Amino acid sequence: MAEGVLFNFAGKLLVGLASLAHQELGLPWGVKEEITKLKDTFSLIKGVLRDAEEQQRNNNHEVTVWLGQLKDLLYDVDDLLDDFSTEALRRKIMRGNEMVKKVRVFFSKSNQLPYSLKIGYRVKAIRERLDKIAADGTKFHFTDSPIVKLLLQSKLEENVSIVPVIGIGGLGKTTLAKMVFNDKNVGEHFQLKLWVCVSEKFELKLIVEKIIEAATGSKPERDLQMETLQNILRGNINGKKYLLVLDDVWNEVREKWLNLRNLLLGGARGSWIVITTRSGLVAEITSTVLPHELEGLSKSQSWSLLKQMAFKEQSHESNASHFEAIGMEIVEKCKGVPLALRAIGSVLFKRTEAEWVKVKNNIVKYITQQESGIMPVLKLSYDHLPPHLRQCFA
């Protein structure tokens, strides 16, 4: 395959697997579970494909062989998705044809079990092959994250460098930070890894106590003076190459940040602080390198995700074009935020056109009805928007 085509092909297949995981094809639970596992592993491999293809261009023969094995498997996944589509279409035709209903009732029970068994074996075999390919690929230390590459670089002038990850709520800043934090190469690179959730309340003493707890595994004694806490903190991080993630930082007062930063400068050269934030000003006052800005989904990606949630059964997919005009207006208001699109898509499942219009006219109201913790995440960003931008969601 030409340069970059393998990555794009994998992306297309991943969309197909994600859609398949939500379809109702009467498959046994075990088969659906195998499809979900396949999708999850596939997602991980797709994430590192750009790095793999880049290494291949550097004439790495072992990587070329590995990509060849992966390419063969991708074709098998493509065939599998075609077979599922054919079966879904067959069932749709059977449901809609009155003349064959009696035949369908007679044969469905006898045909469903062999089909489920056959497809189940295929999915399991592909998933096991993919697991092996993924395991074989770990020796190449692929990475899909520019932040990981940044943290692992050796040419650094400062002892402690700081990179903010910025984006509105629901884009996946914390998820990205966790992936970086748990990356195997990152784990081997740093002597000490620390994770602290900061949130809106930026109190120096409280944050220092949390960092100490992350470093030692136990909370410091209560009512210790700040000077004592500073000494404990420095005793645990000074001279060590550490990674500290400060998650969900809202403080925009430079002096408060500098008071914390000055306590953290004793790390060995190559230490890093990763800050996740929704505020451009926070990124500006903290960064020593260019911030990593997360972008929302494109309009086409957003519509694809909304359709996936709103039309979970493939038999309903043909209705999507009828709703596209309204759907694109909803997409515009969701601003590319996957969390919001999933929430609204779930609300729209099996709803009428009039109900779609109702949802479109009050996006925020319908997100609040979800019980998956979505609204607290999005509402914090919404509350911090200036009035003229809040109107975008009205």
pLDDT of residue 300: 83
Instruction: Give pLDDT tens digits along the chain (394 positions).
Output: 444 678 788 888 877 887 776 665 556 667 778 888 888 788 778 777 877 887 787 777 888 898 899 999 999 999 988 888 887 777 777 666 655 555 554 445 445 556 677 888 888 899 899 888 887 877 666 666 788 888 988 777 789 999 999 988 778 888 888 888 988 889 999 999 999 999 888 999 999 999 999 999 999 998 899 999 999 999 999 999 999 999 999 999 999 999 999 999 999 999 999 999 999 999 999 999 999 988 888 888 888 888 888 886 544 455 677 788 899 999 988 888 888 888 888 888 888 889 999 988 887 776 655 544 444 545 545 555 555 555 554 5
d(CA 287, CA 84): 49
Residues in CB range of 67: below 8 A, 6 or more apart: 6, 52, 53, 56
pLDDT of residue 101: 55
pLDDT of residue 318: 57
Read off the pTM: 0.59
pLDDT of residue 374: 47
Domain boundaries, the chain: 5-140, 146-293, 299-393
pLDDT of residue 253: 95
N-term to C-term CA, the chain: 46
Class of domain 146-293: alpha beta
Of 119, 133, 146, 152, residue with least CA distance to 6: 133
DSSP state of 349: T
pLDDT of residue 319: 64
CA distances from 182 to 39, 139, 269 (A): 20, 17, 21
d(CA 46, CA 64): 16
